[in-house]
Copies of this chain bind each other. A is one copy, B any other.
Amino acid sequence: MRTWRIGLYGLGTVGRGLVEILREMEQLLPSRAGARFEIVSIVDRSPERKGNWTLGKRISDDPDLILKDPDIDIAVELIGGVDAARSFVTEALKSGKHVVTANKALLAAHAAEIFPLAKNYGRHIMFEAAVAGALPVIKSLRRGLVANEIQGLYGILNGTCNFIITRMQQDRMSYADALRLAQQKGFAEADPAFDVGGHDAAQKLALLSSLAFDGLVQLDWIRTRGIVGLDRIDLQMAEHYGYSIRLLAVARRLKEGLLFRVHPALLHADHTLASVCNEQNAVFFDASNSGPLLITGSGAGSRPTAAAVVSDLVAIGNADRPECWPAAPLAAPRANQAEYEFYLRFQAVDRPGVLAHISRILADCGVSISSMHQPSGHEPVNVVLLTHRAPEDSIRLAAEQIAVHEFILADPVILPIETRL
């Protein structure tokens, strides 16, 4: 039975999880995988972190410990960030090593360099942990659904946002309190901007939709809005109308072309993704032959992410040749315009005529209202509107024209209602 020799770069929480899992599964893993996996070298900025539980492994702060060792078969990159990781991953491939990484930021930015490089050198580059942590969404998409055109995919890809929204909805917490709780529980970073701004979800969507559509998707094609600005009143009003709110990452084939979005959206309570709560992740694929497929579970954390890394090690150990990742860019989507029903909330001063004004501007922009509600007990008043289907741009134009009026006190909240599935 072959032993695969591994060099691990990054001894943070996931790296430690990997060391632990490989030790605990020392018996079971070879019986399932038909191969052994041994970490022989560890590189970390702070090699003293190793303590005594990595006994017997070489350790250094110099990446060359891995890169220059011809006996290492697989380099595992778990340092995160883009620049140092890029250098490590490309050097590892060039020196003939297979690579496993959990780094979605790296691949969202540099897949166009890294995938062809791996191909040219005949090496594996695997990254199951980069999207939806423990969930085997990449293997399910590229292997399980290999015999399908993917018509669309819908993901809840950021556990931080989903946790915050769930707590705002279920416990009536304010955004600030829910964020603080997420930070206390380790679900949110000290600086949460990258998560709550939707950028983390957008990177994952770029990567996942590149695989779904067989061509590289650029990050700047994805219109990205985060959950900042959501108020618990939005969750309450959504519930009043029978909806939940989720930060969705969406990639769809429409007649007009491809559509990419990250946005908080209203989902009807019996929508497949509405029941995905707290830090859970989920991906829904709309597949031409296999039909709908939903995968949901734990998105992140040391052990779940490390388990996904191990699944990549095993995949490399079993493969005859590397995966065929898409290397060419997709054609850029033309101005991708979508129609939705919308939820709108305006915060306004409490005086007569405001609603008439708002309705008039919406009508002038061709947007028709299906429902209006002014929840009581709030000062200033909130005007909540549901619209009939309208082009996204018409809604944003109308909202801008409304927002310039002095009776509007804050940026309008504009949430599409996802009706698919």
Contacts and interface: CB of A to CB of B under 8 A. Distances in A.
Nearest to A290: B134
A13 to B, nearest CB: 13
Size category, A interface: 35 or more
A136 B294 CA distance: 11
Nearest to A22: B147
A297 interface: yes
A320 interface: yes
A32 interface: yes
A286 B159 CA distance: 19
Interface in A373-420: none
A127 to B, nearest CB: 14
A140 B146 contact: no
Given A291-B298, A298-B290, A321-B318, A136 B140 contact: yes
Contact of A28 (B31, B214, B298, B318): B214
A51 to B, nearest CB: 21
A117 interface: no
Given A290-B303, A296-B294, A136 B147 contact: no
B324 A304 contact: no
Contacts of A32: 142, 146, 214, 324
Interface string A244-270: 000000000000000000000000001
A282 B31 CA distance: 27
A124 to B, nearest CB: 11
Contact of A143 (B290, B291, B315): B315
A184 interface: no
20 contacts: A29-B146, A31-B324, A32-B146, A34-B321, A136-B145, A140-B295, A144-B308, A144-B311, A147-B306, A275-B275, A287-B307, A289-B306, A292-B297, A292-B298, A294-B295, A294-B297, A295-B295, A318-B319, A318-B320, A320-B320
Given A139-B144, A143-B315, A293-B297, 19 more contacts: A17-B289, A31-B324, A32-B146, A32-B324, A134-B290, A135-B144, A135-B293, A136-B144, A140-B144, A145-B307, A145-B311, A147-B310, A147-B314, A287-B307, A290-B297, A290-B303, A293-B298, A294-B297, A318-B319
